[in-house]
Amino acid sequence: VRTPRRSNQRTRIADELARLDTFISAQGLHFRLRLAGEQISLSTVYRTLHLLADLGRLDCVREPGGERLYRHRPGSQHRHYLTCRHCGLTLVVDATVIEEWAEQLRIVAGFAHLEHAVELSGVCGECGSETPEQSLK
């Protein structure tokens, strides 16, 4: 494992993610950067996202369609989110319960290197109170 080099592209990508502070896809991010006038290729966005994810600087979730969404992770701990399927609103939730439960489970099952992914989605208060027509899409 070697230290990655700095480059304009990587800096721009990391900055944009930190500024956004919401989940966004590689393609979405690429689009935003282009709008902002940056000349960064989609491949570079993908590669940089991998890099940042490996460094633990991003959280990642997966859309029903299979698309991966990334979000800047402020601290060093991974976090869990609750997302509104309607408007995309995401809340950070306290998942201490899960962490402890998973550790218990790991011991009982005799596993090592346990990883967990928890994805929560629903319809938030705002969206739920809209007219039925709207929720039919």
Partner DNA sequence: GTATTTGCAAAGTGTTTGCAGAATA
Partner DNA sequence: TATTCTGCAAACACTTTGCAAATAC
Distance CA 39, CA 56 (A): 26
In single-letter form, the type of residue at position 98 comes to I
Q: Considering the rule CB under 8 A, would residue 118 count as an interface residue with its own copies?
A: yes
CB 82 within 8 A of CB 122: yes
Closest CB to its own copies among 57 and 68?
68
Token pair of 56, please?
């633990």
Q: Is 137 in the site for DNA (CB under 7 A)?
A: no
Q: Which amino acid is at 33?
A: L
Across 5-14, b (16+ Cβ under 10 Å) vs e yields: eeeebbebbb
Contact mark string toward DNA, 17..56, x via CB under 7 A: --------xxx-----------xxxxxx-xxx-x------
Residue 46 binds: one of its own copies, DNA, none (C-beta under 5 to 8 A by kind): DNA
Using CB distances below 5 to 8 A depending on partner kind, what does residue 37 bind out of its own copies, DNA, none?
A: none
Binds its own copies (CB under 8 A): choice among 20, 38, 93, 99: 93
